[in-house]
Structure formats: C-alpha cells, structure tokens
Structure 1
Amino acid sequence: MPQITPNLWFDTQGKEAAEFYCAVFPNSEIKNVTYYNEAGPRAAGTVLTVEFELDGQAYTAINGGPEFTFSEAVSLLINCADQDEIDYYWAKLSEGGEEGPCGWLKDKYGLSWQVAPGGMAELLNDPDQERATRAMKAMLGMQKIDIAALQAAADQA
C-alpha cells in the first residue's frame, strides 16, 4: 500500500510551521524543502513545499496562498501516555493559538489538534453506561484533559 502523507496548506508559513512542529515533537526533522522557480506563481526562491517527519509520520507543508485555511473538520490527534505529555503538548501547541473544548486546540497557524490520553475511547465506551456517562460529562466540561479528574468522575459512585 502506498504511504499516505497529510499535506498541510499554508499561505506563506509552511517552513516556519514545520520547524515549530519539529521542535515540539521528539524524533522529528525536516527532510526536504522545494522552492518556487521562474514558472511561478509566486516569486522565484519562495518556499513551495516542506517535507518533514514528526516521530516517523511524514507530512508536507505547502505554501499555496491565502485561498484555503484550516478548519476543525480536520485535526491531528496526539494520543498521550500520561498527564505530563498532555500538559507538554497542550502548552507548546496552544501558545499563540486558541484553546478549545474536550482536549481540542488550534495552534498559532490555525491547525487543529486533539491532545488526549491514550485509552480515552475505552473509558468513554465503558460497558458500565453510568461510568461512561460520568466520564463523558466530565470531558465535555474540560478544555485541556485532566486524566485524574476524568478518572475520578468515572469512578464516582
């Protein structure tokens, strides 16, 4: 099967965004940068695409112009191992951006992220419907996910 690479459309900040993401995520790097040439439509020498990897996952940033912007219809999910990871990614990615509900945020480039603990789906789909409902209600009242508060809500009798 061919590799699927998310392509993220920016106006002019593709390289800046790729450098930022590579600084936030461990084991990440910029692999290649291409530039517009005399054929245009932007000035020759302007960054066209940036190929980068975030911990082994390939992405491409394209500086395609202001015609398209990000929306919450597409987001990137970070399955965090613990609260420290949630706190780290939430702080780094929300800086200069916008915090949203239920573990969602927009970074300073407008890209939506979900910062959530691994195993959250199991908690929200718990066979004990009352436990699952308490967890869901707690999550819906949060911005950044608080694992201890989520667990406490689920376990409350």
Structure 2
Amino acid sequence: MGLLVVIASLLAACGGDDGMVAWRDLELTVPDGWVVFEEEDSRLSLANQAIGADVAEADRPDGDVVAVFLTHRPGVTPGEWRSYIEEVGATLEVDQPIEVGGVPATRLQFLTPGGDGSATTRELVVVVPAREVELLAQPVPLPDDEQAPATFDRALPTFDELLDSVTWGAPLD
C-alpha cells in the first residue's frame, strides 16, 4: 500500500499524464523528467531532479541541478529586481520586454559573482506585473561550483520552453 501512495504522489507531483500543472491562475507544462517539489498558495517550485526540504544534502543528486520558482508577489515590478541585481554587484546581461502567455512581462538575466564559499551563478527572472508573478530560473550549485553559469546555459532552452507553455486563466481576486 505504501508503494502505491508514493507512486501516486510522484505522478501528481509531475503534473499528471499530460505534464500540465495548474497553479493560481496559470497553467504550464512541466518539462520531461522534472518534478514539482513545492506547491503553496504563493509559490510553485519545479526542478530537474528531486531537491527541497525533504532531500538531505548527502542525498543531493549528481549532475546538473536546476530549478524554477514561481512566486506570487503583490506589487512586484522589474525595477525591484534591477535594484537587487545592482545591490549584489551582479551584471545585468538581458533586460527586455516579452510576453508570457500573451501577458506583458520583463525578462532579466544576470550573472552574480561568487565568493566567500558561494558559486558564481547566472539566473533568469521574468516578472509579470499584471499577474503579480515572478519566475526565477537558476542552477542549484554546490559552493564554489565553477560550472554553474554553464549549467544555466545548458538549461536555458528548457526554461524557455517552460515559459512558452504558460497559459493564463481569469485573474484571481
């Protein structure tokens, strides 16, 4: 019986048979092999491997580990992210208007230098102010991982496919 519960949970976490997951007023396609590891009213988290609070650091998966975090943040603006990027001394590589599921958004890609035991990372933030949603796509590196920007670059097509799969329902009140 326990095995059936685990299998059912994994299928639900992967978005079901069609690979779709609904969260708030959006629906998206979970990339092949990815899992939903966190789903709350204000946050949806997906990764290419099992990570999160339930996975001990000793059980960390091998290879590239990347994740996407969607967060509902009332009043979120691209300007907040531009300020954050400047504050942390990151290099803003991309700042462009886009559409996500037909809704205006801003795409920000930045490179944050490592140091003090942290890895240099390249990250993508997409802010959709009309839906009060931000999407953060990033590698999940070990400290001092020099390959994190390359890991991000390899995952970028998957991040873009995920963005392209987003559809919106009626806005939530």
- Normalising to structure 1: TM-score of the pair? 0.29
Q: Name whichever structure is richer in helix by fraction.
A: 1
- Normalising to structure 2: TM-score of the pair? 0.27
* Structure with max Cα Rg: 1
